[in-house]
Amino acid sequence: MGGIISTFFSADTIRPILFYVGGQAKYIWGLKGNLDDLQTEKENLIAKKLDLLNKVRLAEQTQPRGQRTSTVKLWFERVDRSVTLVEGLQEERDQEIDRLCLGGFCSKDLISSYDFGKKVEKLKEEVIKLREKGEAMKEVYEGVPEGAAVAIAVDRTIVGQESILDQVWRCITDQKKNKGIIGLYGMGGVGKTTLLNQVNNKFCGDEQHHFDVVIRSVVSREPNMKQIQEDIGKRIGFSKNSWQDKSFEERASDITNTLKHKKFVLLLDDIWESEIDLTKLGVPLQTLDSGSRIVFTTRFEGTCGKMGAHKNRYKVFCLEHDDAWKLFEGVVGSYVLNKHPDIPKLAKDVARQCHGLPLALKTVGNAMASKEYPEEWKEAIEILSESASKFEGMEKKVLSSLKFSYDSLPKDELRSCLLYYCLFPEDSEIEKTELIEYWKSEGFVDSSSGWGVLGALVRACLLEEAGDRVKMHDMIRDMALWIATEIAEEENFLVRAGVGLTDAPKIEEWEGVKRISLMRNKIRSLPQIPTCPRLQTLLLNGNFIAKITDSFFQYLPSLRVLSLSRNYSLTELPVGISSLVSLHHLDLSSTGVRGLPQELKALVNLRYLNLEYTYEMCKIPQQLISSFSKLQVLRMLHCGSARRPIVEEGNVLSDDAESLMKEIHCLEQLNLITLSLHGSRGVENFLKFPKLQNITQALYIKHCNSLPLNLLHLANMEHLERLDIEDSNLEDWNVDCAGEAQKMPKLHLITIAECSNVKDLTWLVFVPNLKWLRIYDCDDMEEIISVEKFKKLSEVSEMMGELNLFSELESLRLGNASNLKRIYRDHLPFPQLKEIVISRCPKLKKLPLNSSSAKGRKIVIRGERKWWEELQWEDQATQNAFSPCFLPELQWEDQARL
What is the pLDDT at residue 4? 36
DSSP string spanning 423-490? Answer: TSPTT-EEEHHHHHHHHHHHTS--TTTHHHHHHHHHHTTSSEEETTEEE--HHHHHHHHHIIIII-TT
Residue 168 has pLDDT above 60, yes or no: yes
State mean pLDDT over 741-761: 88
What is the pLDDT at residue 302? 87
pTM of the model: 0.76
- Burial of 76 per CB tally in 10 Å (0-12, 13-18, 19+): middle
Question: What percent of the chain is predicted at pLDDT more than 90?
Answer: 48
pLDDT tens digit sequence for 593-624: 999 999 999 999 999 999 999 999 988 999 99
What is the pLDDT at residue 160? 84
Residue 586 has pLDDT above 90, yes or no: yes
Poorest-pLDDT segment among 93-97, 203-207, 315-319, 378-382: 93-97
DSSP string spanning 635-695? Answer: E-TTTTTTSPPP-STTB---TT-HHHHHHHHT-TT--EEEEEEEHHHHHHHHHT-HHHHHT
Q: What share of the chain is helix, strand, coil (3-state, %, to 5)?
A: 45, 15, 45
Q: Across the beta sheet with 181-185, what order do the strands follow? A: 213-220, 264-271, 293-298, 181-185, 313-315
What is the pLDDT at residue 773? 97
Contact 663, 657 (CB under 8 A): no
Between 316 and 11, the more confident residue is 316
pLDDT tens digit sequence for 434-446: 999 999 999 999 8
What is the pLDDT at residue 715? 85
* Nearest CA-CA partner of 233 in 281, 291, 292, 294: 281
pLDDT tens digit sequence for 267-303: 999 998 777 889 999 999 888 888 889 999 999 888 8
Separation of CA 203 from chain center: 25
The pLDDT confidence band at residue 713, using thresholds 50, 70 and 90, is confident
d(CA 886, CA 879): 11
Q: Residues 56, 59, 64, 70: is their CA dihedral positive or negative? A: negative
SS3 at position 221: coil
Where do the structural domains in the chain lie, given as residue ranges?
2-143, 162-315, 321-386, 402-486, 493-780, 813-897
Question: Which backbone phi and psi does 61 adopt, to 5 degrees?
Answer: -75, -35
In the DSSP assignment, the letter for residue 24 is I
Between 75 and 570, the more confident residue is 570
At 839, which amino acid appears? Answer: S
Between 22 and 544, the more confident residue is 544
Q: Give, in degrees to the nearest 5, the angle at Cα 475 between 411 and 412.
A: 10
- In 10 A of CB 680, how many CB atoms? 20
Poorest-pLDDT segment among 15-19, 200-204, 390-394, 637-641: 15-19
b/e for 454-487, b at 16 or more Cβ within 10 A?
bebbbbbbbbbeeeeebbbbbbbbbbbbbbbbbb
* Nearest CA-CA partner of 833 in 858, 804, 867: 858
Q: Which whole-number Å values give the CA distances from 229 to 151, 183, 224, in the listed order?
A: 20, 20, 9
d(CA 418, CA 725): 38
What is the pLDDT at residue 892? 41
d(CA 476, CA 786): 50
pLDDT tens digit sequence for 837-859: 999 999 999 999 999 998 888 89
Q: Judge: domain 402-486, CATH 3.40.50.720.
A: no
d(CA 881, CA 884): 7
Separation of CA 653 from chain center: 49
Q: Give, in degrees to the nearest 5, the angle at Cα 283 between 281 and 284.
A: 140
What is the pLDDT at residue 73? 82
- In whole angstroms, how large is the CA radius of gyration of the chain? 44
* Nearest CA-CA partner of 360 in 334, 399, 316: 399
N- to C-terminal Cα separation, the chain: 138
Average pLDDT, the chain: 85
d(CA 711, CA 735): 9
d(CA 604, CA 578): 10
* Nearest CA-CA partner of 415 in 464, 465, 483: 483
Name the region of 807 (left: φ>0; alpha: ψ -120 to 50; beta: rest).
alpha
Poorest-pLDDT segment among 58-62, 752-756, 854-858: 58-62
d(CA 233, CA 248): 12
Domains 162-315 and 402-486 are alike in CATH topology: no
Question: What percent of the chain is predicted at pLDDT more than 70?
Answer: 86
Q: Where are the alpha helices (DSSP H) in 63-154?
A: 70-91, 93-98, 110-136
Q: Give 619's strand partners.
A: 595
- Please state which CATH class domain 162-315 belongs to: alpha beta
The pLDDT confidence band at residue 10, using thresholds 50, 70 and 90, is very low
The pLDDT confidence band at residue 161, using thresholds 50, 70 and 90, is confident
What is the pLDDT at residue 708? 86
**CATH of the structural domain 493-780, one choice from 3.90.660.20, 3.80.10.10, 3.40.50.150, 3.40.50.300:** 3.80.10.10
Q: Which whole-number Å values give the CA distances from 78 to 46, 126, 320, in the listed order?
A: 11, 10, 65
Q: Which whole-number Å values give the CA distances from 131 to 79, 371, 853, in the listed order?
A: 9, 71, 85
d(CA 17, CA 113): 12
d(CA 530, CA 553): 8
What is the pLDDT at residue 893? 42
Question: Which backbone phi and psi does 315 adopt, to 5 degrees?
Answer: -85, 130
d(CA 42, CA 64): 32
- In 10 A of CB 701, how many CB atoms? 22
The pLDDT confidence band at residue 156, using thresholds 50, 70 and 90, is low
d(CA 557, CA 582): 7
- In 10 A of CB 145, how many CB atoms? 10
SS3 at position 184: strand
What is the pLDDT at residue 701? 93
What is the pLDDT at residue 20? 46
Contacts of 16 (CB under 8 A, 6+ apart): 110, 111, 114
- In this structure, the strands spanning 141-143 and 633-635 are unpaired
* Nearest CA-CA partner of 422 in 366, 373, 483, 469: 483
- In this structure, the strands spanning 469-471 and 464-466 are antiparallel
Between 880 and 126, the more confident residue is 880
Q: Give 885's strand partners.
A: none
* Nearest CA-CA partner of 596 in 573, 613, 616: 573
State mean pLDDT over 786-807: 70
